[in-house]
Amino acid sequence: MTTLTPHNVDLTALPALPRDDAGPTFAAPWEAQAFAMALSLHERGIFTWPEWSRALARELADAAARSQPDDGTHYYEHWLAALERLVAEKKVVAANELAQRVDDWDAAARATPHGKPIELKPR
């Protein structure tokens, strides 16, 4: 597992966040990248940390309502879904463009051999 210590964020607002004594933990690189994207957007003033924690709480509650409560193994999937929803709500990325980026990433990931870096081709 990898750890990353954020600056200027209140992690107590995220009680389900996987962590150890050093800070947040990640089982895969994409989890750390999703975490870093949220921190970066927060630091750039796109959303406040309370807005972020509410968006993530809403996503976790929605998952539980679908009978998919998080046992910790899917936490960053919910994190990413909350991030996608929040940037769409804030109009950081148009909904159709976000959907296209998700599709592009999925296609690139499926076409990339295991262990190789995923590369998105320019549009």
pLDDT of residue 2 exceeding 50, the answer is no
- The pLDDT score that the predictor gives to residue 4 is 44
- pTM (2 decimals)? 0.74
Q: What's the structural domain count of the chain?
A: 1
What is the spatial distance between Cα 58 and Cα 36, in angstroms, rounded to a whole number? 20
Residue-wise pLDDT tens digits, 31-75: 888 898 899 999 999 999 889 989 999 999 998 898 887 777 889
Answer whether residue 42 is part of any domain.
yes
Answer whether residue 22 is part of any domain.
no
Range of the domain at 52: 2-7+29-111
Average pLDDT, the chain: 83
What is the spatial distance between Cα 4 and Cα 23, in angstroms, rounded to a whole number? 6
- Beginning with the edge strand found earlier in the chain, give each strand of the sheet holding 2-3 in spatial order: 2-3, 23-26, 19-20
What is the spatial distance between Cα 67 and Cα 69, in angstroms, rounded to a whole number? 6
Task: Give counts: helices (H), strands (E), the chain.
Answer: 4, 3
